Amino acid sequence: MSKRFNPTYEDHIRGLVKQYQAKYRISPDEFATLCCLSRATYYSRMKSPRDFTLDELLRLCKVLNMSLNELVGIEKAS
């Protein structure tokens, strides 16, 4: 049986991505490009963040300049 992510994990990732887009005034398509994701993959992952692969999460961390623990809400971003 697979472990399910806490629903707040999904909301946390969506919120961080939306904050980044607002702060830097970039579109979802531009953000997808920064993360090396296709447009379709980006929208799919935003709809269901639990589907992110580890590689995709690590690319998000790089773009957002935070650790994986911060991204998934285990640690507070500094």
pLDDT value at position 1? 47
**Whole-angstrom Cα distance, residue 76 to residue 64?**
14
pLDDT given at position 8:
77
Q: Report the CATH number of the 7-71 domain.
A: 1.10.260.40
Phi/psi at 38 (5° precision): -70, 160
Residue type, 1: M
Find the length of the chain: 78
- C-alpha dist (Å) from residue 41 to 33, 74, 78: 11, 25, 29
Sign of CA dihedral 3, 36, 68, 17: negative
pLDDT for position 21: 95
pLDDT digit string, tens, across residues 43-76: 999 999 999 999 999 999 999 999 999 988 887 7
Domains of the chain by residue range: 7-71
Instruction: Kindly report which listed range (4-18, 20-34, 42-56) carries the lowest average pLDDT score.
Output: 4-18
State mean pLDDT over 19-35.
95
